[in-house]
Structure 1
Amino acid sequence: MSTNQIAATTVVLPSLGESVTEATITRWLKALGDRVEAGEPLLEVATDKVDTEIPSPASGILLDVLVPDDALVEVGGAIGVIGENTGPTAIPESGPVEPDPVPMSDAADRVEKLPRIRRTIARRMLESLQTSAQLTTVVEVDVTAIARLRAREKEEFHHRTGVKLSFLPFFVAAAVEALGEHRVINSSLDADCTEVTYHGAVHLGMAVDSDRGLMVPVIRDAAVLRIPQLARQIADSADNVRSGTIRPDDLSGGTFTITNTGSRGALFDTPIVNQPQSAILGIGTVVERLVPARGDGGALQIDVRSMAYLSLSYDHRIVDGADAARYLTTVRRRLECGFESSELQ
């Protein structure tokens, strides 16, 4: 590679959040000799919290790659050089020629290196189960009133806000509201199990499924948000995760988590608590079912109702089964009472 260059810029690994000190280079998006514009994605990195793209700090030609794929680098460390070649014959060195892949039959086994984020998820899930005594309580809730409100208002809501009106923001609003009455659900134990912190604010983690793996972006101060604001922040968080633009700081500081497994058709699940939180709420899919009930005078009636399951997994070291049942009962009561059209404004 020619050393005739001007205005060379050393690319360093930028800060990726307060608690992130290093990252793994997962893939360079530009090859040696490629031109890149300032702000254009240059490479992808993975941390314990997130996979993200690193933009180029300057416009020019990628003259050198100082850190190869799969290597670990500290924040602030040099990873590449961008500049302009001035010599008429300055040609970047070509990397090693990759061999053609060997054809495999459809039945052949395939072994791949587990991505860093998948390894992190595996480690944290196992650590959570090893740290706390977890169990799950499930209740069934009738959301027919919400289904009718949604059917009436969803087109106008989408036109006004640009966000589709799903069942999720109603579940979130009821769950967050109930935390004010049941503070132990929004609490955290210290590592020694000697002190508990009852959080004054609700910083809501929303589990998001993506091609990169499961991530939990945090919606700050969720208790002060109305349904339109919740719907917008839920949608934006999911979009940021799936587009790879989520920031590491957006994935930390949660006090309570919700996972919407019903979006994939699951009736209910037993989610694992996101440490050091004390509980996580799973929301099942909404289905129409024939439900018997007693009408006026005690007569048996059978009606089509919109039903869903709510499953709360919790840390039994601090949350008792009665606490979980009381919390879920409050959430259910709020959902079955329904919401007013004015609450969608």
Structure 2
Amino acid sequence: MARFSFRLPDIGEGISEAEIVAWHVAVGDRVEEDGRLADMMTDKATVEMESPVAGTVVELAGEPGDQVAIGATLVVIETEAEVVQPAEPERVEAENPGVEEVATSSVTERQDPPRHGEGDHAQHGGVGAPLDATPADVSQEAAPLHHPAAPDGPTPRSGEDRVLASPAVRARAKDLGIDLSAVHHDGHHIRHADLDAYLRYGSAQGYRAPNASRARPDETVKVIGMRRRIAENMAAAKRHIPHFTYVEEIDVTALEAMRADLNAARGQRPKLTMLPLLIVAICRTLPNFPMLNARYDDEAGVVTRFGSVHLGMAAQTDAGLMVPVIRDAQDLNPWQLATEIVRLAEAARTGKAKSEELSGGTITITSLGPLGGVATTPVINRPEVAIIGPNRIVERPVFRARAGGGEEIVKAKLMNLSISCDHRVVDGHDAASYVQALKRLIETPVLLFAD
């Protein structure tokens, strides 16, 4: 028997350490060659580490949330035969190199295992060393990782047979007692990552035995990975930016009627939601209010006002909030915007968004759709200085002037529009003036297509 020390390789982003997001093995587990070891997260990507050898896990470098230095031992594996240790860690290039500020993309990387006889040129490992030789910031005591108990439930139903999953995923689900038909997934088939998410959060969706208590046990969830990044960025935004929010009610009756007419005659073009039309209105009004389409470097004391609108679009994904950016939104028509919105939302949801698609925004729009509520006070996507939040559309009676004089009560579609601004850069008068200009354009939607 021999011991192989798998050291954390250089992930290829110029970073010195990475965070353990999740272990896929515990001390004592048998791991096969190419088997999953851990998910490691940097500021820019989440990378899956795979075992270059087969054997039994004897030591781990820490717990989820701990930082591990590049080149430090991540896992020690006991093998049945001698394995040549690579001379030094090699770079693992992430095909989705990352996200700045608010969002962090998820990337799965495959490592090629060393082959017997390849000597010091074997790939993706590190110089063999016991765990006590790792840097001081790496946890010295690695305890076995226990998966949380799967939710109690009945024997898997026949419907599970219709769920698409690989044999390895089915075998793992069977070992864990998970009904695949109860596992939420976004793709065409269930992956290991979907099982991991179910183990972490699936208790809220689990089955309940008849006559069992509806109460769920308390749980403590460590804030790690993307959720930790979101928490840090939101806290920094509120700590550094003196926010103020302005809310105005807008009559979108005419805009909704025009949207219905455009969809009826769209042909092969994508169906329009309200969002592309609002983006057109935002882009048309921003040139007169350049202080809103800006970024503030508070350390350098410099405000950069942008001529182009690179509009961030807050998108909720299973991993958390991400903000893909529509580049040069001012040059796109509503149908082009609709296509780009769908494409970017799907890329963010599946973790395939590129770094340039997740950074560099100049102003952000955030919409909860039908869940929009009466009003919102959105948090600014630092270092931007403004964020716009359309809220839910409701129908209410309003007074309108008659053509021949007097007033009448009619049914109107109304929407509150919120805007949060950085008070260091944007005055309240400027924010209110901008929203009033936006309101005039939205309530006279024919102007959206006027030169």
TM-score (norm 2): 0.60
Q: 2:280 aligns with which of 164, 169, 173?
A: 173
Distance in 2 of aligned mates of 1:68 and 1:248: 29
Distance in 1 of aligned mates of 2:416 and 2:241: 24
Is 1:203 paired with 2:310? yes
Q: Which residue of 2 aligns with 1:33?
A: 32
Distance in 1 of aligned mates of 2:225 and 2:241: 24
Distance in 1 of aligned mates of 2:440 and 2:314: 24
How many residue pairs get aligned? The number is 319
Q: 1:82 aligns with which of 112, 121, 134?
A: 112
Q: Which residue of 2 aligns with 1:124?
A: 233
Alignment CA distance shift 1:21-1:246 (3 Å): farther
- Whether contact under 8 Å (2:34, 2:113) holds in the other structure is no
Distance in 2 of aligned mates of 1:55 and 1:234: 32
Is 1:112 paired with 2:111? no
Distance in 2 of aligned mates of 1:134 and 1:108: 37
Q: Which residue of 2 aligns with 1:90?
A: none
Bigger mean CA offset, 26-35 vs 199-208: 26-35
Distance in 1 of aligned mates of 2:12 and 2:446: 43
Q: Which residue of 2 aligns with 1:46?
A: 41
Q: Which residue of 2 aligns with 1:213?
A: 320
1:258 CA drift (Å): 0.6
1:313 CA drift (Å): 0.5
Q: Secondary structure at the match of 1:272?
A: coil
| Gapped regions of structure 1 (runs ≥ 5) | 4-9, 88-94
Alignment CA distance shift 1:15-1:260 (3 Å): farther
- Whether contact under 8 Å (2:272, 2:334) holds in the other structure is no
Residue identity opposite 1:82 in structure 2: D
Is 1:152 paired with 2:147? no
Q: Secondary structure at the match of 2:292?
A: helix
Over the residues paired in the alignment, what is the CA RMSD in angstroms? 3.9
Is 1:63 paired with 2:53? yes
Instruction: With a CA cutoff of 8 Å and minimum separation of 6, indicate the structure with the bigger relative contact order.
Output: 1
Q: 2:149 aligns with which of 84, 101, 108?
A: 101
Q: 1:320 aligns with which of 418, 427, 436?
A: 427
- Whether contact under 8 Å (2:364, 2:387) holds in the other structure is yes
Residue identity opposite 1:252 in structure 2: S
Distance in 2 of aligned mates of 1:29 and 1:230: 40
Distance in 2 of aligned mates of 1:341 and 1:272: 28
CA deviations 1:50-92 (Å, max 9, x no partner) are x646699xxxx852799887454678965785348779xxxxx
Q: Secondary structure at the match of 1:185?
A: coil
Distance in 2 of aligned mates of 1:307 and 1:100: 47
Percent identity over the alignment is 34
1:297 CA drift (Å): 3.7
Give the number of the structure whose alpha-carbon radius of gyration is greater. Answer: 2
Distance in 2 of aligned mates of 1:248 and 1:98: 34
| Gapped regions of structure 2 (runs ≥ 5) | 72-88, 93-109, 118-142, 153-212
Residue identity opposite 2:149 in structure 1: P
Is 1:262 paired with 2:372? no
- Whether contact under 8 Å (1:11, 1:82) holds in the other structure is no
Distance in 1 of aligned mates of 2:332 and 2:423: 29
